[in-house]
Structure 1
Amino acid sequence: MESNDEDLGFSCQITKNGRVFFVHLNRPAGVLSGKEASRFMAKFSQSNFQQQQLLMAKATGHYKHGNEKQSKKR
């Protein structure tokens, strides 16, 4: 199980007009606006650090690509 302080490398910036810009490992990773941004911020503000990292990963689409576990044959 993952520790509660694991940093997945995500951060976000909220603009005055309500858009949410995501950065993953110092590279732009996505943008939310409108209702999606509002829903995201409602969940984000009530989450701990690990939950926030997972929310950002899911919002950007960088969540469980299928290559998390390496094959035993390699």
Structure 2
Amino acid sequence: MSNIDKRNRLNEEVFTYKTTKDNKVFIYWKGKQVTVLSGKESEKFLQRILNKDHKEIQLVMAKITGNFKHGNEKDNRSD
């Protein structure tokens, strides 16, 4: 896993998720909603993160959300 996360971004909690009663999963990046999983996608996600540690769960969410692996993402800080 060290080769995947060279800058140790996954040690931070940049991704979070919330599950609703109807088994939809909302995935957030730094507090902003980036994707919604439902049906088989949400079931698959919940199975993939079962019994995983924090960093592995962050990696799963990073892969699901897509374009978060190039290293050129903006920080969204106002200077």
One fold, TM greater than 0.5? yes
Runs of 4+ in structure 1 deviating by more than 6 angstroms, as ranges, are none
For structure 2, which runs of at least 5 residues remain unmatched after alignment?
74-79
Q: TM-score, normalised by structure 2?
A: 0.72
Give runs of aligned pairs for residues 1-74 of structure 1, distance below 5 A.
1=2, 2=5, 6-65=11-70, 67=72
Work out which of the two has the higher radius of gyration on C-alpha atoms and give 1 or 2: 1
Query: What's the C-alpha RMSD, in Å, of the aligned pairs?
Result: 2.1
TM-score (norm 1): 0.76
Unaligned runs of 5+ in 1: 69-74
- Work out the CA distance in 1 between the residues paired with 2:13 and 2:64: 13
Identity across aligned pairs (percent)? Answer: 36
**Number of residue pairs aligned between Structure 1 and Structure 2:** 67
Cα distance between partner residues in 2 of 1:65 and 1:36: 24
Larger RCO: 1 or 2 (CA < 8 Å, sep 6+): 1
